[in-house]
Amino acid sequence: MQTNFNFPGQTGYYQGKVREVYSFGDKLVMIASDRISAFDVVLPRPIPHKGQVLNQTAAYFLQATADLVPNWLIDVPDPNVSVGWRCEPYPVEMVVRGYLAGHAWRTYRAGGRLLCGVTLPDGLRENDRLPTPIITPTTKAHEGHDEDISREEIIRQGLVFDGEYSQLENYALALFERGTQMAGKRGLLLVDTKYEFGQRNNQVYLIDEVHTPDSSRYFYADQYPENQRQGLPQKQLSKEFVREWLIAHNFQGKDGQTIPDMPDKWIAQISARYVELYETVTGLPFQPADLTDPLARIEVSILKIFGQ
Render 202-267 in DSSP notation, one character per residue: TEEEEES--S-TTTEEEEETTTHHHHHHHTPPPPEEESHHHHHHHHHTT-SS-TT--PPP--HHHH
- Check whether 27 has a pLDDT greater than 90: yes
CB contact set of 150 (below 8 Å; sequence gap of 6+) = 116, 117, 118, 137
Q: Indicate whether 302 belongs to any domain.
A: no
Predicted confidence (pLDDT) per residue in 255-280, tens digit: 999 999 999 999 999 999 899 889 99
Residue 289: count of CB within 10 angstroms of its CB: 18
- Mean pLDDT, residues 184-194: 97
Measured CA to CA, the distance from residue 186 to residue 189 in angstroms comes to 9
| Structure confidence at residue 101 as a pLDDT band (50, 70, 90) | very high
The predicted structure's pLDDT at residue 145:
61
The CATH code of the domain that includes 171 is 3.30.470.20
- Check whether 242 has a pLDDT greater than 70: yes
Measured CA to CA, the distance from residue 114 to residue 95 in angstroms comes to 15
Q: Indicate whether 260 belongs to any domain.
A: no
- Mean pLDDT, residues 181-209: 96
- Check whether 307 has a pLDDT greater than 90: no
- Mean pLDDT, residues 279-293: 95
The predicted structure's pLDDT at residue 99:
98
Domain that holds residue 230: 89-241
217 φψ region: left (φ > 0), alpha (ψ -120 to 50), beta (else): beta
- Mean pLDDT, residues 48-68: 97
Percent of the chain at pLDDT above 90? 89
- Check whether 20 has a pLDDT greater than 60: yes
The predicted structure's pLDDT at residue 53:
96
Residue 263: count of CB within 10 angstroms of its CB: 10
The predicted structure's pLDDT at residue 285:
97
- Check whether 66 has a pLDDT greater than 60: yes
CA 152 to chain centre: 24
Q: Indicate whether 66 belongs to any domain.
A: no
The predicted structure's pLDDT at residue 142:
58
Q: φ, ψ for residue 299 (rounded to 5)? A: -60, -45
Q: Indicate whether 293 belongs to any domain.
A: no
Looking at the 3D structure of the chain, how many domains does it have? 1
Q: φ, ψ for residue 302 (rounded to 5)? A: -75, -40
- Mean pLDDT, residues 93-114: 96
Q: Indicate whether 162 belongs to any domain.
A: yes
Helix or strand run (H / E) with residue 305:
helix 294-305
What is the chain's mean pLDDT, rounded?
94
The predicted structure's pLDDT at residue 245:
94
Q: Indicate whether 45 belongs to any domain.
A: no
CA angle 271, 62, 47 (to 5 degrees): 15
Q: Indicate whether 297 belongs to any domain.
A: no
Stretch among 93-102, 186-195, 210-219 having the lowest mean pLDDT: 210-219
The predicted structure's pLDDT at residue 141:
66
| R_g (Cα) of the chain, nearest Å | 19
Q: Indicate whether 35 belongs to any domain.
A: no
- Mean pLDDT, residues 100-115: 96
**Measuring CA to CA, which residue among 79, 33, 40 is closest to residue 59?**
79
Measured CA to CA, the distance from residue 189 to residue 228 in angstroms comes to 13
Measured CA to CA, the distance from residue 129 to residue 111 in angstroms comes to 18
- Mean pLDDT, residues 70-75: 97
Predicted confidence (pLDDT) per residue in 136-182, tens digit: 999 986 555 679 999 999 999 999 999 999 999 999 999 999 999 99
